[in-house]
Amino acid sequence: ALFSDFSFFLTLGVRTLLPVLQVEQYEISTKSPNHKEVTWFQVLLQNGNSEQVTVIFFIYTGSKTHLYEGDITPKRHRNAIVCPFNWCFWPKSSNGLVVIPYVISSSYTHEEKALIVGAIQEYETLICIHFIDRTTETDYIYISPKDGCWSYFGKVGGSQVVSVRKGGCMRKGIIQHELNHALGIANNLGLKYDYSSVMHYHRFAFSNTSGKRFGLSNLDVAKINKLYKCGIHSTLLSNVTGSFSSTIYRSSYPKNTNSVWLIRIPANKIFLQFNSLYIQSSSDCASNYILVYDGGSRRDTVFLNKLCRPKHLPSVVSSGNMMLVDLVSDGTALPKFKASYSSGKSPVSPSRPETMSDNFHLCLRAVDDYFKSNAKQMKFKMFEQ
């Protein structure tokens, strides 16, 4: 049914929100693929400054909360699109980090908490957003299994709920989608559209058949870096094979710069090979160096620690589907490197010499318990290349 010139007040609970000027469209009983009923309506709102904005509120099965774009719940006297004077952004510290205290509900299992923590740690790796365990802070994010997947838009103050329902919402990318809303992300910020973004929800994304997401995309990282003016240079590599290199500056690398490359593939192990490497020498590699982690976080095991002038170009094999390369520079050097990676289940010896003697020795490093317990069962095949 269509209505026009019909004024009323939209309410959430007993609180009056914004005066509705005109109902543009109203529809009920829209069926999703799993036959869940979705009620939605589009309205034209007006705030105190007479600024008009069209928004869509959804009410979907399993949630009694009024939501914008299906998963943003509006705060009283808040425009869910506009953030004037950046008042809905989380503050940045003097060290350039945006520190956000958080609490995870005790209702989650150990496995569910680990999934949430893994989603949170990716921000710390790629962006200047650092989530910390709340102690006594007044403003913090409370991640709780409420009635669906939703979040407030931006910082609202106090205990701010991010709802991650058990079951359908427990996906890494969906958790990050809701956290992005809490950071103030609601559109592409003038950047190109990216279907791999965790912010791209398909038509029935809030049904129980919602697809898995692997995590933040390069566009997601660029959005937050732009919004919070982060100084981190970060790149996500998600193809099963690829190559990457340091950015070469004419004079020197920017002072106190961290550049990171996160290799994150859907499955299997990662084989990383440095093809060239030059980093100006410093005492004990203290100022300019490369770190390689066996995983997607700086909290994971360090594969290569403060690499700056190796005798041989190194290669490593991950124990899982993620590997982090971190280039640290104080701006006094010209760090340059090129590296390539591939994925698979059966390792091939990298960087073998052009000529090998009769007494050639191959040293293997056990990277996980599987290789340690099955070392006697490993077979090798020599081949010409």
Predicted structure pTM score: 0.65
- Note the pLDDT of residue 383: 43
- Note the pLDDT of residue 175: 93
- Note the pLDDT of residue 199: 59
Residues of the chain with pLDDT under 70: 1-86, 187-213, 247-257, 281-282, 332-333, 345-385
- Note the pLDDT of residue 309: 78
- Note the pLDDT of residue 326: 94
Task: Give the Cβ contact number of residue 190 at 10 Å.
Answer: 7
Catalytic residues: 178
Residues 6+ apart with CB under 8 A from 57: 10, 40, 41, 43, 66, 67, 68
- Note the pLDDT of residue 274: 94
> CA angle, 317 as apex, 312 and 318 as ends, to 5°?
135
- Note the pLDDT of residue 194: 52
- Note the pLDDT of residue 312: 84
Cβ(167)–Cβ(149) under 8 Å?
Answer: no
Q: What is the dihedral of CA 200, 205, 209, 213, to 10 degrees?
A: 30
- Note the pLDDT of residue 241: 95
Domains by residue range for the chain, with CATH: 8-83 (no CATH), 98-228 (3.40.390.10), 233-348 (2.60.120.290)
- Note the pLDDT of residue 375: 46
